[in-house]
Amino acid sequence: ANFTFVESWRERHPSSYSLKIKNISQLNKSIVSSNERYQSRLFASGGFNWRLLIYPKGNAKDEGSGFISMYVEIDSKSLMETPPNEVYAGLTFFVYNKKENSYYTVRDAEVKHFNALKMVWGLSQVISLDTFNDPKKGYIFEGDECEFGVDVDVSPPLTSWEILSFCEKLPSPKFSMAIKNFSDLKEYLRQSNIFSMGEMNWVLKLYPKGTTADGKWLSIFLCVPDGETLKEDEEIYIRAHIRVLDPLGFNHLKDDLKVWFNKSTLSWGFPQYVSTAEIRKTYLD
């Protein structure tokens, strides 16, 4: 039995399948030899074939005594012909009410997993027989007619995903770049070799006289190498320590870099990391 369901009313007819019964009393007599259930014709929904199973007097084997029980069965041939031979589907069962001119609906709150081991899912207690059989309630009309239905909403297979992870301990977490004859450098930019870290390639870009016009600052940037980029909407969080080492080992400079890299942000750093005067005074070996 399944008792996790949501009840509501709906004017719109079922989208997947509707079963109109002209004589419910005669149906009840005719299903005695077929396990007290009626099995509908095959119908298609979400690329699979299904049957609606109705127990007009309740499925006693599934705690459905005193209720109308309704189930959906996936066609085995349809299932086996569609890899990976399983499907997830949401189920909503309908019972038409002539008096309200609407459908009483019962939606299973859980999406069901159909596979070769479990081909039938449903609700054993859709509506009580006392309510259904009461002529004043409106479920049986035009003498002995009634209508049932079902919506089978097949969940499409997963096609898009992302993985968010943070690597705290990298196997080789350090990279160093040594510059000789710093005071004699003429070029505007000095770039490191490409190095790999955290499954990404990086370079350090060093501007000996800074990126500003006054030329009084050393600028340092961590960058994705030229010619490489990130995927659309891909983001990588970087936490790094950018350091300039004191040759005497006492007063290293350090700044923390904490930033998200993406396709439009492929470089980040410090335009005024340290003054060139301080570099010449303390950090040249």
pLDDT band at 98 (very low <50, low <70, confident <90, very high): very high
Mean pLDDT across 241-252: 86
Alpha carbon distance 86, 208 (integer Å) = 62
Whether the pLDDT of residue 2 is over 70: the answer is: no
pLDDT tens readout for residues 150-187: 999 999 887 887 777 777 777 778 888 888 888 888 88
- What's the Cα-to-Cα distance from 209 to each of 58, 120, 221, rounded to whole Å? 85, 74, 13
- Range name among 167-181, 217-231, 263-277 with the lowest pLDDT average: 167-181
pTM, entire model: 0.63
| All structural domains of the chain with their residue ranges | 5-154, 182-282
CATH class entry, domain 182-282: mainly beta
What distance separates the 2 farthest-apart alpha carbons in the chain?
104
pLDDT of residue 100: 96
One fold for both 5-154 and 182-282? yes
User: Who wins on pLDDT, 21 or 280?
Assistant: 21
Residue 252: half-sphere exposure toward Cβ, Cα within 13 Å: 8
CB-CB contact of 204 with 233 (8 Å): no
Alpha carbon distance 201, 224 (integer Å) = 6
Mean pLDDT across 70-77: 96
- To the question of domain 5-154 being in CATH 1.10.1200.10, the answer is no
